[in-house]
Amino acid sequence: MTTFTFKTIDDPLGTNGTVAQVINDNDQIVGFYVDSNSFAHGFIDNGGVFKTLSDPLGTEGTDVLGINDNGQTVGFYIDSNFIRHGFLHSNGAYKTIDDPLSTNGTYATGINDSGRIVGVYLAGGMDNGFLRNTGGKFITIDDPLGVNGTFAEGINNNGQIVGYYIDSNGNKHGFLYSISRGTFTTIDDPLGVDTYVTGINNSGQIVGYYFDRSDVEHGFLRNTGGKFITIDDPLGVTEANGINDTVQIVGAYMDSSGHVHGFHAHS
């Protein structure tokens, strides 16, 4: 049986909550926090030292959702018209990443070491996944079963993309997409009514969260053999968001008072 040790990750400025999104192989953690004015800011945590990451165009907030081993980060900012735009932060500079098919906003959710970026764009009221290749070309990544939307959440160095889709009944299912094969595989936690897949490492281990039949949220780890392990922070209701190659997992939990905290778990 795999057991995990949990550590709370709270940005000291996150008086209204902290969410950890991804951890890379250098043990850098990124996510976002909400300050005393209910304003969202991105952060990077280097060994307990927190630094705020805010796109200068994000007058209404910034969320950091992904980081690779080169320290490049992605996420989205909200402009003065309350429209979301994806961004890439590299070598101290921010670059806007907007899918050209978007009519209602873009957010970037993951980046691998070669600079391939995945995310979601909104067009005509529909959420669509995308892959942005290193040359800047955008490719739509829509699960054929996702008639009510597809959300690409993470990408590894082997060209495997994970996320979730919404089926014709409104249920959520995780997916694994292979770029080289062009194939989708549904990933459903057997304990879940709805499953959300959020992260993948280079070994193909997958994390996410599910809602059980009592509508309670739980994190999970899916090993390469297909076995699911529930990941619940003992301090609250849990979602797992990211995993690195040494099977360190980050995410968020909600405590009994309704406050959200990030967490870092390792076996």
DSSP 38: S
Q: What would the pLDDT profile of 103-150 be if each residue is shown by its tens digit?
A: 999 999 999 999 999 999 999 999 999 999 999 999 999 999 999 999
Tell me the per-residue pLDDT of 222-262, one tens digit each, with 9 for 90 and over: 999 999 999 999 999 999 999 999 999 999 999 999 999 99
Separation of alpha carbons 180 and 176, rounded Å: 12
User: For residue 1, what pLDDT band results from cuts at 50, 70 and 90?
Assistant: low
Residues 6+ apart with CB under 8 A from 98: 85, 86, 106, 121
Residue 141 belongs to domain with CATH number: 2.120.10.30
What are the tens digits of pLDDT across the range 178-203? 999 999 999 999 999 999 999 999 99
Residue 31 has pLDDT above 80, yes or no: yes
pLDDT tens digits for 67-85?
999 999 999 999 999 999 9
The answer, as to whether pTM is greater than 0.95, is yes
Show the tokens assigned to 263: 């967490």
pLDDT of residue 2: 74
pLDDT one-digit tens code per residue, 239-248:
999 999 999 9
- DSSP states of 126-168 as a string? EEEEEEE-TTS-EEEE--TT-TT-EEEEEE-TTSEEEEEEE-T
Q: Distance between CA 118 and CA 141 in Å, rounded? A: 9
Query: Which amino acid is residue 63, in one-letter code?
Result: D
Count of the separate structural domains present in the chain: 1
Q: What range does the domain containing 36 cover?
A: 5-266
Average pLDDT, whole number, for the chain? Answer: 97
- 205, amino acid identity: Q
